[in-house]
A and B are shown apart, each in its own frame.
Chain A
Amino acid sequence: MFKVAGKISSRLDSRLLLRCSSAQPLAPCVEETVESQSQPLNNASPQELNLGDEYRVVYLPKDFKLHRLNAGPARAVAIMKSQAREYYRQLLTVRLLESAASRLYKEQLVRGFCHLYMGQEACAVGIRAAMRSNDKLITGYRVHGWAYMMGVSARGVLGELTGRRSGCSGGKGGSMHMYGRNFYGGTGIVGDQVPLGAGVALTSKYLQDGGVCLALYGDGAANQGQVFECFNMALLWKLPMIFVCENNNYGMGTSSQRAAANVNYYTRGDLMPGIWVNGQDVLAVRSATEFAIKHAQQEGPIILELCTYRYGGHSMSDPGTSYRTREEIQKVRQQHDPIQGFGALCLEQQILTADELQEISQMARLEMEVATRAARKDGEPPLSHLWSDVYSGVYEGKLSGVHPGIEA
């Protein structure tokens, strides 16, 4: 049990007799074990097969669940060697990024509220694998992994966490506020990002840039009123939008069963079609996203529910064990870990060797080491940035309500 930085409570001491929530049935996606089978190539994923590159065809172990759809994403998917390397590297790097963030937090170099993505890596890697260069994405506060996947360097992410000038928001946003190209962040207020995503989607449609917008939210946010307002607007105006519910089964300390009357988040768009996806399987997520992108462009908005799990607590201030059991966390780690699962698949399909996995792992570790060192040493933003970026243009410089004595 680690000591939490900062004066404020939220430190839930394991020695105190806080009753865990009574044993909750685990969400469907974490009950069955993963099996994979090879099948001949039929109904292959719509992706282009570069036959110069080695590839395998995998039949996804778990089926998708469909809502108001006659046909769903491809269950037989092709994976090329170069993709296998890339996905494995990305999965691992996001995990290491979050470990680095956690370490920096425990050293009190990162302060405030820090929400880790560990356990959910396949969601980000899978979605990104299917996105095209003109697609946009917006998500909530569990954003470090997403920032990295959307092109922010590890140094940019860790630097932002430690409040450095080299951080992707100049050190001014912190953990929850990271942005990048076609990546709208990054918000601390639950659910706020969904209407923003609808707006981005509308603009894409209006400007005819062929892109779609993916708006991500969690199972907690799925009960926010503004999300339903967006379902209506998206359907009414046929927005090229994909609602993605990253259902990690807990909204802070409340399990999704205790927060939602209908836990089938992929059905909550009513007339809007939806797909339930095993969020721990990167290839399933990729397949579903490809399907969804095509649907969003041609038919209209769609919901993807990615059933996933977070190993850590809600944030670094929450040990995450007062409302769920350690056994549950261990079980998911052992049986449904996205990185182990994909690594095992690669070995079994003989598309990557153990040596190659090791090599990728070493490179990822080195990348993170360099980034962490920079996050410790880089310079801080100057004081004048306290009042920069409040307004634009001519209003910068002399801001009323900021004491003139403090102007540098």
Chain B
Amino acid sequence: MRVSQVARSCFNTLRLNFRPAPMTRSHFTYYPTAVGPGDAKKMNMFTAINNAMDLALEEDSTALLFGEDVGFGGVFRCSVNLRDKYGKDRVFNSPLCEQGIAGFAIGVANAGATAIAEIQFADYIFPSFDQIVNEAAKYRYRSGGLFDCGSLTFRVPCGAVGHGALYHSQSPEAYFAHTPGLRVVVPRGPIKAKGLLLACIRDPNPCIVFEPKTLYRAAVEEVPTEYYTSELGKADILRKGKDVTLIGWGTQVHVLLEVAELAKEKHNIDCEVIDLVSILPWDTETICNSAKKTGRVVIAHEAPFTQGFGSEIAAYIQDKCFLNLEAPVKRVTGWDTPFPHVFEPFYLPDKLRCLTAIKDIVNY
């Protein structure tokens, strides 16, 4: 069977030698975004985030940064040097208690200070789920606007990293997309990470930034050094095309860009690649315009299939663009299993699966 051949060849390439040769295990190739004129510096994603927080703490004297191990720089080095620069009363470690961190952050924001709270891995966000969903998202509504925790931003490393297994790889954006009152964003690289984080910190609504951890080092771009914000709620069209619309966010965007190249090269299919950027609220206009133009949509995400955020996009597209569609909306996603330990390469919506989906949708 073809799949078992693919599996065997994957197993063979993955089988390691005794010599510790560096292995490219990543399922994606990084596509940097080019930036406009202005002072820019080569940064990877954690440096860009560090820069963003530096600027935020400088500009806003009420801004606080806290979370587990952020003091010494954080497990991903996003908060390096910030404690030295701004002091222990602004950049501090919290004990190991996500529910406490979230509740505490909400309180800080309600009282008028700016809270930047880090949850060390998205897989650990669930003890704080109650606080985020029941408190943060509903404070403004239930108080009739008297209180809000708008100056609250959660930074949450998420996503597959090649070897994270069940509890260091999850993408929980769909759970939070289901909660009105929150903003949820996912950067695809350093420029976006800095811009979105600064935008979220300024945004008067509680925000969650899911940062794909595999991009912290792998993603390098020329990032403007000034204070700038990216537009929230706006999707980016990264590659224009007329045949198929490909929608993704975070790391998956880079997989889709590579797939778009392959599709053009091998099958002469012209793909339009869109980075959704904001999960909640999401840019329905850009997506629908593209869907109406191409008539064929493939959505890809790492999170499991059932009730992944792709299902929301698909439902909306078929509602608003039905008569323009040439084929049903396709979703290429992680399977409906826990994120696996050794089976990760077969779990992820890699370029082979995405390419197959494009061929299928074109031949529908």
Interface residues of A (CB under 8 A from B): 3, 5-10, 12, 18-19, 21, 106-109, 111-113, 163, 171-174, 176-177, 188-191, 220-221, 223-226, 251-254, 258-260, 317-318, 322-323, 380-381, 383, 385-387, 390, 399-403, 405-406, 408
Give CA–CA (A387, B343) in the complex, Å: 10
Shortest distance between the CB of A322 and any CB in chain B (Å): 6
Contact B217 A386 (CB under 8 A): no
Closest to B16 in A: A108
Please indicate the chain A residues that have their CB under 8 angstroms from the CB of B100 in the complex. 223, 225
Partner of A191, one of B96, B123, B162, B341: B96
Q: In the complex, what distance in Å separates the CA atom of A406 from the CA atom of B166?
A: 21
Cα A258 to Cα B72 with chains together (Å): 12
Contacting residue for A112 out of B77, B93, B123, B164, CB 8 A:
B164
Q: Which of B7, B68, B217 contacts A9 (CB 8 A)?
A: B217
10 intermolecular pairs with C-beta atoms under 8 Å apart: A7-B25, A7-B161, A9-B217, A12-B73, A107-B20, A188-B167, A254-B95, A386-B335, A399-B335, A400-B336
Is B11 an interface residue when CB atoms closer than 8 A count as contact?
A: yes
What is the total number of residues of chain B having a CB less than 8 Å from a CB of chain A? 59
B161 engages A8 (CB within 8 Å): yes
CB distance from B19 to the nearest CB of A (A): 8
If the complex has contacts A173-B341, A176-B167, A260-B95, are A401 and B73 also in contact, measured as CB distance less than 8 A? no
Which among A21, A171, A172 has the highest number of chain B CB atoms within 10 Å? A172
Q: Mark B2-33, 1 if CB is under 8 A from A, else 0.
A: 01100100010000101010010110000000
Residue of B nearest to A111 (CB): B163
B84 within 8 A of A: yes
Given contacts A386-B346, A406-B3, contact A401 B97 (CB under 8 A): no
Mark contacts of B156-199 with chain A using CB atoms, 8 A cut-off: 1 yes-contact digit, 0 otherwise. 00000111111110000000000000000000000000000000
- A-B pairs, 4 with minimum CB distance: A401-B336, A188-B167, A111-B163, A163-B342
Q: How far is the CA of A62 from the CA of B338 in the complex (A)?
A: 46
Task: Tell me, in angstroms, the Cα distance from A390 to B16 when the chains sit together.
Answer: 28
Known A171-B341, A188-B123; judge A113-B16 contact (CB<8 A).
no
Cβ-defined contact, A221 with B73, below 8 A: no
B93 contacts which of A107, A176, A254, A399 (Cβ < 8 Å)?
Answer: A254
Q: Does B75 interact with chain A (Cβ within 8 Å)? A: yes
A34 to chain B, nearest CB (A): 31
A254 lies within 8 A of B71 (CB): yes
CB-nearest residue of chain B to A172: B341
Find out whether the CB atom of A7 lies under 8 angstroms from the CB atom of B217.
yes
Tell yes or no: B147 within 8 A of A by CB.
no
Are A9 and B342 in contact, with the CB atoms below 8 A? Answer: no
Q: Return chain A residues, CB-CB under 8 Å to B18.
A: 107
Besides the known contacts A7-B161, A7-B162, 15 further A-B residue pairs in the complex with CB atoms under 8 A apart: A6-B163, A8-B76, A9-B75, A19-B84, A108-B23, A109-B16, A112-B163, A113-B164, A163-B341, A173-B165, A176-B165, A177-B166, A189-B126, A220-B96, A405-B3
List A contacts of B95 (CB < 8 A). Answer: 220, 223, 251, 254, 259-260
Are A224 and B97 closer than 8 Å at their CB atoms? Answer: yes
B118 to chain A, nearest CB (A): 13
Instruction: Give the residues in chain A near B167, CB-CB below 8 Å.
Output: 176, 188-189
Select A253's contact among B26, B72, B166, beta carbons within 8 Å.
Answer: B72
Check: B214 CB closer than 8 A to any chain A CB.
yes
Main DSSP-derived SS at the B contact region: loop
Chain B nearest CB, measured from A5 CB (Å): 7
* B93 A386 Cβ-Cβ under 8 A: no
With known contacts A9-B77, A408-B1, A21–B72 Cβ distance under 8 A: yes
With A and B bound together, what is the CA distance between A259 and B67 in angstroms? Answer: 11
Chain B 293-310 interface residues, beta-carbon cutoff 8 Å to A: 304-306
Contacts A191-B96, A253-B75; is A402 near B336 (CB within 8 Å)? yes
**Known: A383-B346, A386-B346. Contact between A223 and B165, CB under 8 A?**
no
- A254 touching B162 by the CB < 8 A rule? no
Give the complex CA separation of A259 and B124 in angstroms: 18
Task: Write out the residue numbers on chain B whose beta carbons fall within 8 Å of the beta carbon of A173.
Answer: 165-166, 341
Distance between B117 CB and nearest chain A CB, rounded to angstroms: 16
The smallest C-beta distance from B364 to any residue of chain A, in angstroms, reads 17
Please state if B93 and A258 are interface contacts (CB–CB under 8 Å): yes
Which B residue sits closest to A107, measured CB to CB?
Answer: B20
Say whether B96 contacts A6, CB under 8 Å.
no
Residue in chain B with minimal CB distance to A187: B167
- Take A108-B16, A383-B346 as given contacts and tell me if A401 and B305 are in contact as well, using a CB distance cutoff of 8 Å: yes
Q: Closest CB-CB distance, A320 to chain B, in whole Å?
A: 12
CB pair B46 A9 closer than 8 Å: yes
CA A9 – CA B76 in complex, angstroms? 6
Evaluate whether A189 and B124 lie within 8 angstroms (CB atoms) in the complex, with A172-B342, A252-B68, A259-B95 already known. Answer: yes
Interface 1/0 per residue, B278-299 and A, CB below 8 Å: 0000000000000000000000
**Measured between alpha carbons, how far is A188 from B342 in the docked complex, in Å?**
16
Q: B residues within 8 A CB of A224?
A: 96-97, 127
Residue contact B99 to A225, C-beta cutoff 8 Å = yes
Binary contact track B54-75/A, C-beta < 8 Å → 1, others 0: 0000000000000011011101
Complex: A257 Cα to B362 Cα, angstroms: 61
B24 → chain A, closest Cβ, in Å?
9
Contact B93 A387 (CB under 8 A): no
**Interface membership of chain B positions 65-107, coded 1 if the CB is closer than 8 angstroms to chain A and 0 otherwise:** 0001101110111001000100000000101110110000000
A260 — which chain B residues lie within 8 A by C-beta?
95
Interchain CA distance A226-B100 in the complex, whole Å: 11
- Of all chain A residues, the one with the shortest Cβ separation from B44 is A9
Q: Check if B337 is an interface residue, CB within 8 A of chain A.
A: yes
